[in-house]
Chains A and B, each alone.
Chain A
Amino acid sequence: MHPAPSLILFTVLSGLGFGLIAWTGLGLGPAGIWYAWTVSVASGALVAGGLGASALHLRRPDRAWRAFSQWRSSWLSREAVLAAATSAVFGAYALTWIVTGTRLAALGLLSALLAAATVLATAMIYTQLRTVPRWHTPLTPLSFLAFAATGGLLAVLSLSGAASRPLTLLALALLATAAALKAAWWHRANATRRPSPEATTALGALGTVRQFEPPHTGRNYLQDEMIFRLARRRATAVRRLAAGLGAALPALLLALLAAVPATPGLAPAALLSHLAGLLFERWLFFAEAEHAVGAYYGHR
């Protein structure tokens, strides 16, 4: 699939934003008003940035409001509804916190649940597609959720500057879980294949099917959008970058932070590195995904 920058930014930034909302809603971070402001601005910017990026993907963004209507059947619509609901509930939570200085645990818990549901809905947009065998696995939503939890906790550690060894160790454990889930995802993905030309044309009973003549000499939308050809040589390099920046380096920084609590700069560095790794991971998520339609154009 075409790795559109708008979709890469959307999934990475909104995942991080909803992760931050979830942990904050669960009561993590200092209680001070200044921190309430910081968290509200940061999560608002991340979520708005992510959703804004997704709007860039639309050819008719003026009609995006219609996406709130089909939540009965469509995961994309559910994602829109849940994102709006999370923002509203967390907005109320942050506002009462800023104005009255108290954090309403019930509202916080509700925003945490809604944030998790939003991340799940985002992942399901891709997971639901049988046409892309790599995405069609429960490991996809599991890894999206684990990444959001990890990134959100790293953001809490970075913004609060608090020296909490238990939270640092929790972040380390979440990072390891996310990395393990993604490794399992990649392991499975390596073994998946798009349907063969014999299967897509139903001509397999007659013999081996080869493309003799394509239907058109120029490009078309299907090829631009769904038959992205990626050089395997680069895929390995990008995979190393994703694993190194996304998991190995932040793990090292977190271990240091656990050993020498309150070392300034370690948590933000871990967050930034993790984010950079996620951008590579998400690029591969799209670029390596093979859609069934490629088989009609002779790809195996």
Chain B
Amino acid sequence: MTTLPEPSGVKLGLVIDLDICVGCHACAVACKEWNTAAYGAPLSDQDPYGADPSGTWLNRIHSYEVTPEDAPQNAPPQIVHFPRSCLHCEDAPCVTVCPTGASYKRAADGIVLVNEDACMGCGLCAWACPYGAREMDAAEGVMKKCTLCVDRIYNENLPEEDREPACVRTCPANARHFGDLGDPDSDVSRMVAARGGVDLMPEQGTKPVNKYLPPRPKTRETPPPARPDAEEAPGGFLGWVDRALALLD
């Protein structure tokens, strides 16, 4: 059913700390590894070792260069690594546009999923998502997206510490956090409150559940001036070397 359920009390999602992420892509690889063998069709690759490789991924890590307007001349820009995946929006346009009922939002925890047996591969949901979070699998012809590792987080066959999304479990920098953003007292909600976590593109009206913690402002000092003596003729032994070299100049 592609009408949206009443907003659930529990809103499971991710908090991604852009101040900490080092852009290692480990979360994307862990995601691909888990999800190619888990929920639904495998995440296929086309021409993986050839000249024109492509494939389906549910998490993509961008890297941006951010230059403040008032940056001093020649000050290096700030590099921000930016993991991008489904935000499990509360008002998910990808769900309501779906003509087949394949896309749906779970009433109990708000996870947005695709029932791959019902998907006709029209691609309209990917057009409706502002965040590029859905990719059509070229081999299977069905829409793939982040499942929030729905087959890990409730999985009692896994040790308790593994019952979180593969990306969160694997992040070596601890830049990714999983929890209930509907509960104001949860760790993730406190983190969002403390760090001023933001929604991506709130003007799209999607009400994303996932939040991004902005990078902390850099302490910027004016770059130290060049050594004052660098251009002056040195004295002593170096002066003798300098004069000797000048003969060859």
Separation of A291 and B130 alpha carbons in the complex (Å): 8
Interface residues in A171-220 by Cβ distance below 8 A to B read 195, 197, 199-203, 205-216, 218-220
Q: Hey, what's the 0/1 contact readout for B59-84 against A, CB within 8 Å counting as 1? A: 01111111111010000011110101
A296 to B55, CA, bound (A): 18
Given contacts A221-B135, A226-B132, A292-B201, contact A209 B65 (CB under 8 A): yes
Q: How far is the CB of A8 from chain B (nearest CB, A)?
A: 15
B143-160 at interface with A (beta carbon < 8 Å):
none
**Interface size class, chain A:** 35 or more
Cα–Cα distance between A76 and B121 once the two chains are bound (Å): 13
Residues of A within 8 A of B118 (CB): 63, 66
The segment from B162-170, B185-193, B209-217, B221-229 that touches chain A is B209-217
Q: Is the CB of A130 within 8 A of B204?
A: yes
Tell me whether B235 is interfacial, beta carbon within 8 Å. Answer: no
| Chain B residues within 8 Å of chain A by Cβ, number | 70
> Does B26 touch A at the CB level, under 8 Å?
no
Q: How far is the CB of A2 from chain B (nearest CB, A)?
A: 10
Nearest-neighbor residue (CB-CB) of B206 within chain A = A130
Task: Decide if A41 is an interface residue (CB 8 Å cutoff).
Answer: no
The reply to whether B64 and A225 contact each other, CB–CB distance below 8 Å, is: no
Picked from A63, A131, A132, A207, the residue with its CB within 8 Å of the CB of B78 is A207
Instruction: Render A57-83 as a binary contact track against B, CB cut-off 8 A, 1 for contact.
Output: 111110110110110111111001000
| Cβ contact of B212, chosen from A74, A80, A202, A291, cutoff 8 A | A202
Please state if A218 and B122 are interface contacts (CB–CB under 8 Å). Answer: no
A1 CB-CB contact with B under 8 Å: yes
Contact call A206/B84, Cβ cutoff below 8 A: no
A200 to B98, Cβ gap below 8 A? no
Query: Given B63, B96, B200, which contacts A202 in the complex, CB threshold below 8 Å?
Result: B200
Query: Would you call A292 and B99 a contact (CB within 8 A)?
Result: no
Q: Is B20 an interface residue (CB 8 A)?
A: no
Tell me, in angstroms, the Cα distance from A130 to B204 when the chains sit together: 7
A58 in contact with B78 (CB, 8 Å): no
Cα–Cα, bound, A297→B62 (Å): 8
| Given A64-B120, A80-B99: A207 touches B136 (CB 8 Å cut-off) | no
**A220 and B128 within 8 A (CB):** no
The answer on a CB contact under 8 Å between A74 and B98 is: yes
- Majority DSSP secondary structure for residues of B touching A: loop
One digit per residue, 1 when the CB lies within 8 angstroms of any chain A CB and 0 when it does not, for chain B 40-74 equals 00000000000011111100111111111101000
Residue of A131, A214, A291 ringed by the most chain B CB atoms within 10 A: A131
Query: CA A188 – CA B66 in complex, angstroms?
Result: 31
- In this assembly, does B198 line the interface, its C-beta being within 8 Å of a C-beta of chain A? yes
A196 vs chain B, min Cβ distance (A): 11
Q: Which residues of B contact A210 (CB under 8 A)?
A: 64-67, 77
A293 pairs with B99, CB closer than 8 A:
no
CA distance A136 to B33 in the complex (A): 38
Q: In this complex, what residue of B is CB-closest to A55?
A: B120
Instruction: State whether the Cβ of B12 lies closer than 8 Å to any Cβ in chain A.
Output: no
| Nearest-Cβ distance from residue B95 to partner chain A, whole angstroms | 8
Task: Verify A73–B3 contact, CB threshold 8 A.
Answer: yes
Contacts of B171 in A (CB 8 A): none
Q: What's the least CB distance linking B118 to chain A, in Å?
A: 6
Q: Which of A58, A64, A128, A206 is most buried by chain B, counting CB atoms within 10 A of its CB?
A: A206
A-B contact pairs, 29 of them (CB 8 A): A58-B120, A59-B120, A59-B123, A59-B136, A60-B142, A69-B101, A74-B96, A76-B97, A77-B100, A80-B99, A131-B129, A195-B203, A201-B62, A203-B64, A203-B82, A207-B71, A211-B62, A212-B79, A215-B61, A215-B84, A218-B54, A221-B126, A222-B126, A225-B123, A225-B136, A226-B126, A292-B201, A292-B204, A293-B129
6 extra interchain contacts, Cβ-Cβ under 8 A, other than A72-B2, A200-B201? A64-B120, A129-B128, A130-B130, A202-B201, A210-B77, A225-B127
Shortest 10 CB-CB contacts between residues of A and residues of B: A59-B121, A59-B141, A293-B132, A77-B99, A66-B100, A215-B60, A207-B68, A76-B99, A213-B63, A67-B99
